[in-house]
Structures are given as structure tokens and as C-alpha cells.
A and B are shown apart, each in its own frame.
Chain A
Amino acid sequence: MTQSVADVMSCRPVLAHVDHSLAEAAKRMREKNVGALPVVDGDELVGIVTDRDLVARATARDADPAITPVLEAMTRHVVFCRERILIAEAAALMARERVRRLAVLNRDRELVGIVSLADITRIDDVGTRAAAAALQVICQPTPNAAKAPPDEEDPTGGRARGSPAGTLHVYAERPRRRRP
């Protein structure tokens, strides 16, 4: 398993804009058969919105999907990696951050793809085992989440939290949208 993330990621992911309606985001998810869209504001990657976000933050709260902007339902916690890192490193990062997808950036910090646990699973037997091992970690209840009170704003129930402060690979380099 010597491939890099660039070899297995989904290239040029479908994006949502912060001002798009949730209904528009849901349509894009349906058309492309994906569960998550990176969210951009102009040239900046500012979040990610999943099908689950739409349900937990709009339907459950009675926000009208036709007029509620993606901005109000997206998750701002975006974990990213560089396109040249090895698959094993990507799986380890997912396990550590307890996420199933990573945004992939090139050397110019432009968003070039999304790599998911499913992408890693499909590579070969080694990839499948690495993904299963990551899933074991991701699905464990976190000590931090157990201690913290349930967060109404967080549809993941706190599982995406749990890394010590200062170590998160989160939007620290201000990744950008790639220009065609």
C-alpha cells in the first residue's frame, strides 16, 4: 500500500457555497451520490456539509431548507491532508481526528479532492484492514465526549471533538478553492 492519497481520492469534488440553500445542497448530494460537500466562501474552504447535518440542523429544527443557507448547517471542523501523503497516514489521521473523510490539498493549498474511508477500503486488502482499524477507533466513545455535556449544535454527538488543542489539522492554513 504505497499509494498516495492522490491515487485514490475523488478529484474535483462537488462544492456547496455558504449562501446556497440546504435544498440546493441536498440536490447536489443526490445528483452526485455523495454524502458530503466541501463548503466554500469565495475562494476559501470554510466547512463541510453532510446529509446528516441537513437533517439534524434543518429538519429537526424546522428550518425551511428552501431558504436556510448552508452556512447555518455546515460543520466548520474540516480536517485536511496533502495529496502526497501515504494512504496509511491518511487512515491514521482519520482515526486520530475521528472523521471518515479528509479534504485533500495540493502544494498551493488548493482543494483538489476528498478522500474517504470507503476510498481507502476499496484499494486492496491492506487498505481494507487499515480502514477497518481506523473505523474501530472512530466508533469508540471518546473520553472527552463522555465528559462534555451533549452539544446541541453538534450532530456528531461530540465524536469529532477529542483531539488536544493545538494539534488539530483544521483550516489552519486557510486552504483555498481551486480555480479551473
Chain B
Amino acid sequence: MQISNVMSRNVQIIGPDQTLREAAAAMKRLDAGVLPVGENEKLVGMVTDRDIAIRGIAEGKSADAKIRDVMTQGIRYCFEDEDVDHVAENMAELQVRRLPVINREKRLVGIVSLGDLATQGSLPKTAKALHGISQPGGQHNQTTAVRA
């Protein structure tokens, strides 16, 4: 099965100079835990609810702080025509629960989460992805990540 069959197409891009308040409101509205951050037609990062809590609220930043200051840089993505099982393996390796999905023209077309794989994919593959993701570490880990 292809990723385009299980991904969510309900994606909203947010700009790096928009505020934490705007990101939080968008997450709430979309019932999403992550937003792709785009600038000049390019993805420049991802911001998660945890990024806002740990790099924003815990650091005493106000709701007016910029997303650029809390987002996770370095984009990992998958293609919409990739196989679900292959992406599940990538998630395990990268230790991320969600990946932006792009088409072959490099346009963002969706987001795929571990939950999407769990409800629509195969149980063994979900289990494998979950196992990899649940090990300590990973891209959004906030204690070991060194930020420039």
C-alpha cells in the first residue's frame, strides 16, 4: 500500500516568523501535534507541541515568540508513492512519529503519522516502527539535542 492511501491531507504550513500562539491555535484547530514550517515555498523545519512546551514555555518565552526559535530544523520526509512498510521502517530508524509527505514534484501533499500506519497499515510493521520510535533518543528529543 502507498503512503498516499493512509496519509492525512489536512496540512497547514506555518511560517517561521509566525508566533507560537498562531502555531498552538492551528494545532488545536487541526487536532495535530506537528506543523510543517515553510518559507519561500520551501520546508525549513517542523514544529511540534512538545517543541513549543520545552523550548518555548519552559524557557520563559511568550506566546509572541517566533516559531523559528523553537522549531526542529532538518527535514525528513517521504514520498506519496512510497510503500507504507518502507516508511514505517524509516520512522523506526529516524525515531519520529510523523513525516511530511511530498510528491515527485517536491510539493508537500500530506503528513503521515504512526497513528495512520497503526489504523491502516499492518500490525507487525506498526509494531516494528513503534519499537524503534520508543527507544531513547531521536530527532525531537529535547535533552540530547544540541541546538546551534
Q: Mark A117-128, 1 if CB is under 8 A from B, else 0.
A: 110011001001
Question: Known contacts A26-B57, A33-B141: does B27 contact A56 (CB below 8 Å)?
Answer: yes
- A157 near B119 with CB under 8 A, answer no
- A52 near B49 with CB under 8 A, answer yes
Q: Which of B38-46, B77-85, B104-112, B129-137 interfaces with chain A?
A: B129-137
Question: Known contacts A59-B52, A60-B28, A155-B28: does B135 contact A22 (CB below 8 Å)?
Answer: no
- A121 near B123 with CB under 8 A, answer no
Q: Mark B118-133, 1 if CB is under 8 A from A, else 0.
A: 1100011011101100
Is A27 part of the binding interface, using a Cβ–Cβ cutoff of 8 Å? yes
CB contact between B49 and one of A27, A55, A136 (< 8 Å): that residue: A55
CB contact between A157 and one of B31, B50, B52 (< 8 Å): that residue: B31
Is A86 part of the binding interface, using a Cβ–Cβ cutoff of 8 Å? no
CB contact between B63 and one of A27, A33, A62, A135 (< 8 Å): that residue: A62
Cα(A139)–Cα(B116), bound, Å = 8
A52: chain B residues at CB < 8 Å are 33, 49-50, 53
- A60 near B119 with CB under 8 A, answer no
A155: chain B residues at CB < 8 Å are 28
CB contact between B28 and one of A26, A35, A54, A56 (< 8 Å): that residue: A56
Is A132 part of the binding interface, using a Cβ–Cβ cutoff of 8 Å? yes
Q: Mark A130-150, 1 if CB is under 8 A from B, else 0.
A: 011101101110000000000
CB contact between A135 and one of B58, B115, B128 (< 8 Å): that residue: B115
Is A165 part of the binding interface, using a Cβ–Cβ cutoff of 8 Å? no
8 smallest beta-carbon distances between A and B, as pairs: A139-B115, A26-B58, A60-B24, A132-B127, A51-B53, A59-B24, A26-B57, A118-B134
